[in-house]
A and B are shown apart, each in its own frame.
Chain A
Amino acid sequence: AQRVTQPEKLLSVFKGAPVELKCNYSYSGSPELFWYVQYSRQRLQLLLRHISRESIKGFTADLNKGETSFHLKKPFAQEEDSAMYYCALRGPSNTGKLIFGQGTTLQVKP
Chain B
Amino acid sequence: DTEVTQTPKHLVMGMTNKKSLKCEQHMGHRAMYWYKQKAKKPPELMFVYSYEKLSINESVPSRFSPECPNSSLLNLHLHALQPEDSALYLCASSREGRGGHEQFFGPGTRLTVL
Contacts and interface: CB of A to CB of B under 8 A. Distances in A.
B87 interface: no
B109 interface: no
A32 B102 CA distance: 11
Contact of B100 (A43, A51, A101, A103): A51
Interface residues of B, number: 26
Nearest to A6: B42
A89 B19 CA distance: 32
Interface in A14-67: 32, 34, 42-46, 49, 51
A69 interface: no
Given A43-B106, A44-B90, A95 B98 contact: yes
A88 B101 CA distance: 13
Nearest to A98: B103
Contacts of B31: 96
* Chain A interface SS verdict (over half): loop
A93 B99 CA distance: 5
Interface of B: 31, 33, 40-43, 45, 48, 50, 55-56, 90, 94, 96-108
Interface of A: 32, 34, 42-46, 49, 51, 86, 90, 93-98, 100-103
Which 4 residue pairs across A and B have the least CB separation, nearest first?
A: A100-B42, A32-B100, A96-B97, A44-B105
25 contacts: A43-B106, A43-B107, A45-B105, A46-B102, A49-B100, A86-B42, A93-B98, A93-B99, A95-B48, A96-B33, A96-B48, A96-B50, A96-B94, A96-B96, A96-B101, A96-B103, A97-B48, A98-B43, A98-B45, A100-B43, A101-B42, A102-B41, A102-B42, A103-B40, A103-B42
